[in-house]
Structure 1
Amino acid sequence: MSKIFGERYEVIEQIGAGGMAIVFKAKDLLLNRVVTIKVLREQFVTDEDFIRRFRREAQSAASLSHPNIVSIYDVGKDGDMEYIVMEYVEGRNLKEIIREYAPLSNDQTINLARQITGAIQNAHTHHIIHRDIKPHNILVTADGHAKVTDFGIARAVSSATVTHTGDIVGSVHYLSPEQAKGIQSNEQSDIYSLGIVLYELLTGKVPYDGETPIAIALKHLQQEPVPPSKLNPRIGKELEGVIMRAISKAPERRYQTAKDLLEDLNHIQAGQPIAWFDAFQADDPEKTQTHKGMSEALAPIGIKSSAPPRAVNKKRRLMIIGGFVLLLALLVGGLWKYLAVESTTVPNLVGKIVPVAEEYLKQRKLTLDPEIAYEFNSEVKEDYIIKQDPQADTSIKAGRTVKVVVSKGIELIEFPNVMVGQMSKENAINMITNAEFTGEIKFAYKTDDAAKDSVIDQNPAPKAAWPKNGNITLTLSAGPQWETINMPNVIGRLSSEAKMILEDQNKLVLRIETELSDTSPEGVVTRTVPNPGESVQQGSEVTMYVSRGPGPYAQGIGDQAGNNPVSVARLLTNLRQYND
């Protein structure tokens, strides 16, 4: 029997594995769709701080909605296993495509670059930084549609205990200089990593490589990249300029926003010039400057920016040692700064409105995180806090921010119409479930001419605003209650009148035939099968024969000229109207 997570997601097969998670293809049994599930590895599930960060970042990323971003559907826990449910994308990751097809053409690269940049721009607009842009995290479908995955999750991973380094080797080739220094990453960090990806698409190689992750990180800080056109002369000069600007070591020389980068990619695709291109080529201090950054940081311990050939190995060892020393110094400095701040206790904010929570935090020398999350909640009234992080009574340093989740109240959504076309009970339940209603569905039965078990009434009414977890009542047809009756006598009546008597009043299924008659006027019933007075079951078929003439005619009755004799049928109709 296959594994089912959360009593909802049935595993189909394993499709991947990384340092953080094992990836499965699965079926959502509730919504009947294929999804991707990432299940955290065992070494992470015991780290409560990491799990809390992981859930928070995943929930934040779930707010993103963009055609080039893999959607996050759910975050859950099954036993000891933490998992995240994502959109399933039929395709391959960009690293596999690079290995097989790189270098790509200018047009292919620009097409992919525009899609990836659009995804990054959307995330940055929502104040979410990816922090781990690399080909492994970009999926491409067979028709060339790119989707970026794992938004926000890299932040949780980067904060995890230093023993979890399974993905470091794969990410260091795309690491920004500020990330290599341990400085807080920002939008420009994602742009740098994207620039490295574009470099690799056009050349088939990353600009910096080495024997160890630290050696590669140092090259991001010290070494100038070989212009990609040296490796692939077919690269357009302006496209090369865009890449070189994106991977500038100084963040202020890079694109300041993904929107700016996307605009330049659009210009290149449209054959339009880029305004800054000539000035950037003429005034690029990174082409002539000596290696700064890490070299200057390591100077106090005797490492120079250059060395004679026979000292290369020694220099490499010293650089690695120096890197560790610098990293240790940064950690110690940060720790000392952290310890010097006084501690305070987090107040209980659950059940309070935001202005009151801000006042409580101010009294404890804390602040409210301006990025307030909102969730529908059927138990907590709108505008009241339902969650907080850190939790109440937690001891933290003064000056820190506290995140809160505020209730949006009961979620009301439009209820579907399940009475269309005598819909079956099963189809009605599927429609209600697919509309994401989760309340209990109750059933009532009523005698009706509709098909048995078809929906003949519903509460709530079609298109009514209804709580997602509100109770639902469907009235189903119990089928018609037929009786045995005597065949009514409709001989001599007009066919329209007889039809109403047989079908509407006596619930018979009527078949009408016509026949010639010299005794009955046109349109009058001549006979029935079965005969009048014979037993017949309601719901069964009977046959009614109607005269199509010529029939008898009244003599001497006509217009003033003696023409147009009036039919007996017409006379009968006039007599009935007179008697009425």
Structure 2
Amino acid sequence: MDTTVADPLLGRLLDGRYRVESRIARGGMAAVYLALDVRLDRTVALKVMHPSLAEDPDFVRRFIGEAKSVASLSHPNVVHVFDQGTDAGNVYLSMEYVPGRTLRDVLRRRGRFPAREALEILIPVLAALGAAHQAGMVHRDVKPENVLLTDDGRVKVVDFGLARAIEAGNQTKTGVMIGTIAYMSPEQVTAGVADARSDVYAAGVLLFELLTGQQPYLGESPMSVAYRHVHDRVPAPSAIVPDTPQALDTLVLSATDRAPDRRPADATAMLVAAVEAHRGLPRDMAPQRPPTGATSPSILREPGVTPGGNAVPPANPTLVHSRTEMMTAPPATAGAPARRRGPRPTWFIVALAVLMIGAIAGTGWWFSEGRYTKVPDLLGLNIAIAKAEAKKQGFEVKIGTAEHDDKLAEDKVLRTDPEPGKEVLNDAVITLIPSSGPVKIAVPNVLNLSQGDAQAKISDAGLTPGSVSRVPSDTVQRGLVMRTNPQVGAKVREGSRVQLVLSAGLLMPDVSDMQCDQADAFLRQKGFNPTVVQQTDNAQPNTIIAQVPAARAEVTAGQAVQLTCSKGPDTGFHWPWEDPNNVQPGQTLVAIPDVRFKKVTDALGELRAAGFKVRVRRIAGTGAVVAENPLGQAPAGTRVTIWH
């Protein structure tokens, strides 16, 4: 049974702006929906927190603060946060919609990754975390579920600040911790504290899982896993996959050291080490043999069957855990991976290796007079990382004009001049040519065109006309284009399909109960030709009581409309609040705020703060109030209707 059918948010217009179209995912703390931002006509992802969190004022306050911080974090590997808000008890984030899959989905389908591919996923994750750490933010819940792989090969990290916001709530008192046990650092388990080094620990566990296809402590209860993180050492990946390069063993062991001070100081420091490890891998090294049933190394290719030979990692929801229970859980050994065989490297051996490398480098300089060096292999790296690496090696760096490439993602090094491996002078200039990704074309403006004209214009632009659907409209005549998907102006790959949404007919707006002058002005703005006639009636004076054509009837642009406006009764009847002598005992007249032309969310807040009930009616779909009734004064508790 499809549980989304009963989801009360589907089809709703949240905050007068976001039309919820479908549910994408549901986790331990929130559900994620695909929605249309009707104000900007763009597709977004809405993360709506579960009601138990939304009812917690401490959580809501911290959630809003964290959302503002994350919104200021601009980085190509971070899922952008556009907006946050609350509506009828729903606390939500509006975020960039990223078509693709989570890293967890890919791991389940294909199993472990070869060393080079594992680093090529980890490096952009570390770049995103490094940007956050530089801005004073800590993620606190790094895991494959929070890493998104886009359809065009980009890597993006999501849910910055969410765990911190949850920790601030009333539900998380002393003695509990927030996070995902499989990736939680020892200090988070024992003391509930987290800093940049805690994210580094989780990134180390993530790399272990990429290389081996399983988590360090698998198949145990959450309490025993937490105990293992505190008291045991994460094993080297080569204990599971023997041909894992030594550099990656070292990177995992350094990042997952139980002592925070012995880990890289932050994600940027780990990023430098990861780039160095990647640079040291032979480009032509034979890929590691994937598990039985796995497919080619492409991280986004769908295999036909689930990879064999790997334990499938469990689901990893973000949860609230009892620290006392975690700390008193007995150690469990069943299912734990074998320890790495043989002696482990010591700091003495590492220091000796550094001295030996320095001696070899000095000898080479002596015989070559230190004048020449080889151009490093920077192909495929992020352009900023490649530039930093080249400068670190003493080269002067220039960035050339980007070139399109169907396979390499945007902002990665497509080629260098001179080419990798060529011997040049130490202070030579290296020109990096970045990829601008596949050729992309802006969706042309076909709004208000007929289906045939729109499809011809889309084809002329180098795109492919897609499916056609029809919906009623209050503003667009039958058969004309209302919107496209992707939206007009969006840049998409050459040849991509563009769907058309046509108007099923121009419908007469419902202006009943609106003040007569407001209804007349609104209809004229929409291109109608209204005539207002007055009629004695017991309805509230200066209010529309009838209209021809009727509401929702199909009409044509410029059509004449007759509006019947109530003059009120002949008997001198007054509404209670219009005559101070008729005001009931205990009632006080309150000025009704004029909220016309304000945002719906602001209008709701202002009217409710003044003590009025509010009824919201959609008529224009602009997100701003176009009419209000009544105006003037009324007793507190009176219902005020606003149209938007």
> Structure 2 length normalisation: TM-score?
0.42
Higher relative contact order (CA 8 A, sep 6+): 2
Structure of greater Rg: 1
> Structure 1 length normalisation: TM-score?
0.47
